[in-house]
């Protein structure tokens, strides 16, 4: 049992050049044995011991080659210390058996070992023992000083090519294997609907991180017999996006050099041509659930064309053929009614129209996309109640923020007309199909076309010629504050018109309408009875609700109990109105005589 106060002495002995060989084992035993007292383990003293051992560790390891003694020391070192000792050559491959007896392999250890030429082969052999998500860290963490480097910090050694190649291959192999057998894995049915998307499998972060480090090798890698297809997919999905992000960061750096004039594509035309075999995702053609798979495949291809616009000309015939096959196989233009609770219905139709506008040359399919757009509900364009704060902020930036076109964009309700403009820009889309949709648009959507649409002249002229009924005005539900409402002869009628408007069926607008009605001093109980109970009870003016409930329930014990039982509705349940809630509190006939 070593006295805790003597640990600094043992540390200094260990680091002394005059320490005789015969004392080495005793010093190591003293620094490695847990600190104890007559009462048992001493946690504070053991921390002092660990600090002393950590300081003396390099000197002790350099003093002994005995495997048992080295193992006794190495078991007490943490991963960061071991990696640092391996990087400076104090720990070598000869120590691996002692280290891995108590630890798993970690990236820092492989990086450190590989910095010494004679140990590179052993370092490569350790890569398969890493979890897949850690392999890329071997290269990423090669330069441990990259964040703290100064002009006086010695440069990191060059990564051995054999290490880089082994990590690159290891990171690309999972995607290459998935492309050979893209069937859903066991347990797929238990995955949430949100995550049940094969396209996530193509976003291999580590594979792209390695590819991004060697752009000079992309051309050769696209022809690799085993990894070439994976490389093609990653380049199409990631290269231009990464280049744009790098350019954005470069422009934001005040100390950076002037960027070159005009964007420089990350992929040359030759590289794009080399990637064409993977462009339309042929490996995924036979996935189960063809409707969902075809829809996602089409959208993934469209994203690639958005990222690499030159593909629209280089691979026009290939893209058109793929779009035809996917629409047919997935029956993407078949009519289906919107199901209750299907909050992704509108998004699917919008994405399909946008994707076909970009990829298709089939007039029937393009006309079908127009017809799908026409089926979508009209937008609910709401101008919120004036707010001094909102006006003060927005007036300085956009004094016309209340224009219908701007209000349409506030909740992304312009996407339908934006998709229609995209279809109109496709020369293969029948103009009559576009005109049919134009005739059913909301007035604010027509205003958006006039102000914002980047579309052919015939489309703009056709939209401008559509008459807007006088009773619709600009189609905006304008919420007024009480001062403005008070100037009207019948404020209650205006509140009722808000509740009757399409805005109350649109999830992003209805709360604004309900909030304006509840807050207004001109509302009546009849107005409140039409609003969902949770909007009245939980989200707005509690004083208003309190007064109504006190008047309605009074001294009726039955009504108060019924109220407690009724206020258990969840957010996603059918919306019970405040009026239905009050009516449900009426007592049973036997209790009807109870004073209230």
Dihedrals φ, ψ of 139, to 5°?
-85, -40
> What is the spatial distance between Cα 366 and Cα 373, in angstroms, rounded to a whole number?
11
pLDDT of the residue at 381:
80
Check the CA dihedral 454-460-466-468 and report its sign: positive
Residue pair 250/303 in contact by the 8 Å Cβ criterion: no
pLDDT of the residue at 258:
60
pLDDT of the residue at 171:
95
> What is the spatial distance between Cα 165 and Cα 163, in angstroms, rounded to a whole number?
5
Alpha helices (H) in 308-344, listed in sequence order: 311-314, 316-330
> What is the spatial distance between Cα 278 and Cα 179, in angstroms, rounded to a whole number?
10
Check the CA dihedral 259-260-264-266 and report its sign: negative
Number of H helices, E strands in the chain: 34, 4
pLDDT of the residue at 590:
40
- Residue 58's nearest CA partner among 31, 94, 85 is 85
Q: Give the burial string for 367-377 (b: 16+ CB within 10 Å, else e).
A: bbbbebbbebe
Q: Give the burial string for 316-339 (b: 16+ CB within 10 Å, else e).
A: eeebbebbbebbeebebbeeeeee
> What is the spatial distance between Cα 233 and Cα 304, in angstroms, rounded to a whole number?
10
pLDDT in tens, the chain (596 residues): 566 667 778 788 778 887 888 888 888 888 888 877 766 776 877 788 888 888 989 988 998 989 999 999 999 899 999 999 999 999 999 999 999 999 999 999 999 999 999 999 999 999 999 999 999 999 998 887 777 778 878 888 899 999 999 999 999 999 999 999 887 655 555 544 545 566 767 877 899 999 999 999 999 999 999 999 999 999 999 999 998 888 887 777 666 566 555 567 899 999 999 999 999 999 998 888 888 889 999 999 999 999 999 999 999 999 999 999 999 999 999 988 777 767 788 889 999 999 999 999 999 999 999 999 999 988 878 877 765 444 444 444 555 667 888 888 877 889 999 999 999 999 999 999 999 999 999 888 998 999 887 889 999 999 999 987 766 667 787 788 888 888 888 989 988 988 887 766 666 567 788 888 888 889 999 998 988 887 887 665 677 888 888 888 888 888 888 888 877 766 545 578 888 888 888 754 444 444 43
pLDDT of the residue at 393:
43
> What is the spatial distance between Cα 17 and Cα 24, in angstroms, rounded to a whole number?
11
pLDDT of the residue at 506:
62
> What is the spatial distance between Cα 377 and Cα 74, in angstroms, rounded to a whole number?
69
> What is the spatial distance between Cα 479 and Cα 523, in angstroms, rounded to a whole number?
13
Alpha-carbon dihedral angle through residues 107, 111, 114, 116, given to the nearest 10 degrees: -140
Instruction: Enter the tokens of residue 353.
Output: 């129209």
| Region at 289 (left for phi over 0; alpha for psi -120 to 50; beta for the rest) | left
């Amino acid at each position: 049992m070593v006295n805790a106060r003597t640990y600094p002495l043992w540390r200094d002995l260990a680091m002394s050049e005059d320490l005789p060989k015969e004392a080495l084992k005793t010093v190591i035993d003293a620094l490695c044995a847990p600190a104890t007292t007559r009462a048992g383990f001493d946690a504070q003293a053991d921390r002092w011991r660990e600090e002393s051992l950590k300081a003396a560790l390099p000197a002790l390891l350099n003093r002994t080659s005995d495997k048992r003694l080295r193992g006794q020391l190495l078991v007490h070192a943490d991963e960061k210390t071991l990696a640092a000792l391996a990087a400076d050559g104090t720990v070598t491959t000869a120590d691996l058996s002692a280290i891995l007896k108590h630890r798993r392999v970690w990236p820092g250890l492989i990086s450190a070992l590989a910095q010494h030429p004679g140990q590179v082969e052993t370092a490569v052999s350790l890569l398969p023992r890493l979890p897949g998500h850690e392999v890329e860290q071997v290269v990423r963490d090669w330069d441990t000083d990259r964040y703290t480097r100064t002009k006086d910090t010695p440069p990191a050694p060059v990564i051995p090519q054999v290490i880089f190649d082994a990590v690159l291959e290891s990171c690309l192999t999972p995607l290459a294997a998935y492309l050979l057998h893209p069937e859903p894995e066991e347990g797929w049915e238990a995955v949430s609907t949100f995550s049940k998307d094969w396209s996530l499998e193509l976003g291999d972060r580590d594979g792209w991180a390695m590819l991004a480090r060697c752009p000079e090798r992309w051309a050769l890698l696209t022809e690799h017999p085993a990894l070439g297809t994976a490389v093609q997919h990653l380049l199409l999905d990631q290269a231009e996006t990464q280049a744009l992000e790098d350019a954005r960061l470069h422009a934001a750096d005040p100390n950076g050099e002037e960027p070159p004039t005009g964007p420089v594509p990350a992929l040359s035309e030759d590289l794009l041509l080399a990637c064409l075999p993977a462009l339309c995702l042929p490996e995924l053609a036979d996935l189960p659930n063809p409707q969902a798979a075809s829809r996602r495949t089409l959208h993934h291809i469209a994203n690639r064309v958005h990222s690499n616009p030159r593909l629209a000309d280089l691979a026009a015939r290939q893209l058109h053929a793929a779009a035809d096959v996917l629409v047919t196989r997935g029956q993407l233009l078949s009519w289906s009614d919107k199901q209750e609770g299907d909050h992704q219905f509108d998004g699917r139709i919008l994405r399909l129209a946008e994707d076909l506008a970009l990829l298709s040359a089939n007039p029937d399919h393009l006309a079908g996309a127009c017809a799908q757009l026409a089926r979508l509900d009209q937008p609910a364009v709401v101008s919120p109640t004036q707010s001094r704060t909102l006006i003060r902020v927005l007036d300085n930036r956009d004094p016309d923020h209340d224009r219908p076109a701007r209000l349409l964009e506030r909740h992304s309700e312009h996407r339908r007309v934006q998709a229609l403009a995209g279809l109109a820009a496709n020369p293969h889309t029948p103009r009559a199909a576009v005109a049919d949709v134009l005739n059913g648009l909301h007035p604010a959507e027509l205003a958006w076309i006039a102000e914002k649409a980047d579309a052919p002249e015939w489309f703009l002229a056709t939209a401008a010629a559509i008459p807007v009924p006088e009773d619709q005005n600009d189609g905006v539900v304008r919420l007024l504050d009480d001062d403005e409402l008070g100037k009207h002869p019948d404020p209650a009628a205006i509140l009722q018109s808000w509740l009757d408007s399409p805005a109350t069926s649109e999830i992003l607008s209805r709360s604004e309408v309900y909030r304006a009605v509840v807050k207004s001093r001109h509302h009546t109980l009849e107005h409140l009875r039409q609003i969902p109970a949770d909007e009245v009870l939980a989200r707005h003016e509690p004083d208003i609700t309190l007064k109504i409930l006190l008047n309605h329930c009074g001294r009726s014990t039955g009504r108060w109990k019924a109220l407690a039982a009724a206020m258990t509705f969840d957010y996603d349940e059918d919306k019970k109105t405040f009026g239905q809630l009050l009516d449900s509190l009426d007592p049973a006939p036997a209790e009807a005589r109870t004073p209230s």
